[in-house]
Amino acid sequence: MPKIIRFHQLGGPENLIIEEAPTQQPGTGELRLRVEAVGLNRAESMYMHGRYFEQPQLPSRIGYEVAGVVEAVGTGVDAKLVGQRVSTVPGFSQNRYGALGEEAIVPAYSVQPYPAQFTPAQGTAIWMQYLTAYGALKLYGKIQPGEFVLITAASSSVGLAAIQIVKAEGAIAIATTRHSNKKKELLDLGADHVIATEEEDIVERVKAITGGKGARVIFDPIAGSFVEKLAECAAPGGIIFEYGALSLEPTPFPLLTAMTRALSMRAYTLMEFTQNPPVLEEAVRYVTERLQNGRFAPKIAKTFPFSQSVEAYQYLESNQQIGKIIITVP
């Protein structure tokens, strides 16, 4: 029987257990993957701790982003997919479709082919980060050449994808990280400027970098009271995209600053457009073209074998990584 990962109580990675489960047959609109690699995301960490917008129904599987080979399809799914290598676009319930394991049932709408020259590990380091950044920066934010874009928690896989998209659009990427030990690598990975927020005054640094203009688009997964400072970094008419809640604090709306700058703050998730076929198709085309020509390049921080899934998630929660953490599945 295939091995899967589940947890039976809320808490940290130490609760993840490798179990055996019968092979499942895909239902209507579903397919089954033989999983080759799994990309880790903060969403799964928050989910297993009970801090995500979806609460686990225990015992629960986990995992959003996998690459693998299609083994079987359900009713209504093109049989030509069988045998193809694909990876998943996150945007489904982990309660229903948690995908970390040797096999995974996933909705057919969630899979996309990845470049043939990519390994499965690279294939599972694409969609969450590039499409999340694309939606906020390109689709909704409509960033323009020469604009300043502030990207917080920039050493994450999504943050690195955001830097690449900003640069591809001719805008100026201001990246933040908590400590200066990640500064050089973020600059090497394309950021125009890097601010260590626990060592520097982010507001004063943004003012200096932008000549007092501020950043028109701010892309932030931290939220909490930090948004008060982000609002002061914003340009008049700017917008703050909140795509996470890593601070685990209540998030205020910075009303007075927003009023003086005509500032908007907007909650955003990848799921807003992943089930809108025409929009998703354009987003996938945009990302794929730039992966093919080398303008985009996913960075893998560290790879773990399936047997060390607990250690992989512990490493995710340590905040040491720059880029994507991958679990390879035999």
CATH of the domain at 32: 3.90.180.10
Structural domain contains residue 39? yes
Q: Is the pLDDT of residue 138 over 90?
A: yes
Confidence at residue 330, expressed as pLDDT on a 0 to 100 scale: 86
User: Distances in Å between the alpha carbon of 218 and those of 135, 240, 242, 257?
Assistant: 13, 5, 8, 15
Report whether pLDDT(259) > 90: yes
Decide if 225 is inside a domain: yes
Q: In this structure, are 79 and 133 located in the same domain?
A: no
Q: Is 279 inside a domain boundary?
A: no
Q: In angstroms, what CA-CA distances link 136 with 69, 253, 290, 294?
A: 30, 19, 18, 22
Asked if 86 and 108 count as a contact pair (C-beta separation under 8 A), the reply is no
Check whether residue 108 and residue 145 sit in a common domain: no
- Regarding whether 253 and 137 lie in a shared domain, the answer is yes
| Cβ pair 171, 147 in contact under 8 A | yes
Give the integer Cα–Cα distance in Å for 130 and 113: 14
**Residue 232 pLDDT class (50, 70, 90 cuts):** very high
The answer to whether 315 and 28 are in contact (CB under 8 A) is no
Over 90: is that where the pLDDT of 111 sits?
yes
180 shares a domain with 220:
yes
For the chain, the average pLDDT equals: 96
Token pair 């093919």 in the structure block, residue = 292
Residue 67 within a domain: yes
> Does any domain span residue 294?
no
Residues 113 and 144 grouped into a single domain: no
Report the CATH number at residue 194.
Answer: 3.40.50.720
On whether residue 286 sits in a domain, the answer given is no
Burial call 154-164: b when 16+ CB within 10 Å, e when fewer: bbbbbbbbbbb
Q: Residue 162 falls within a domain, yes or no? A: yes
> Are 39 and 148 in the same domain?
no
Contact 37, 120 (CB under 8 A): yes
pLDDT confidence bin for 275, thresholds 50/70/90: confident
Output the pLDDT for position 142.
98
Asked whether residue 65 falls in the same domain as residue 102, the answer is yes
Give the chain's domain count. Answer: 2
Q: How confident is the model at residue 91 (pLDDT cuts 50, 70, 90)?
A: confident
Average pLDDT over residues 228-245: 97
Tell me: do 101 and 205 sit in the same domain. no
Residues 249 and 210 in one domain: yes
Based on the fold, state whether residues 112 and 135 are members of the same structural domain. no
Cα gap 310→319, rounded to integer Å: 15
- Both 146 and 198 in one domain: the answer is yes
**Residue 289 is assigned to a structural domain of this protein:** no
Q: Which domain holds residue 171?
A: 128-269
Determine the pLDDT at residue 131: 97
Among the ranges given (1-10, 86-95, 100-109, 158-167), the one the predictor scored with the smallest mean pLDDT: 86-95
What's the one-letter identity of residue 93?
A: S
114 and 159 share one domain: no
Alpha carbon distance 248, 257 (integer Å): 23
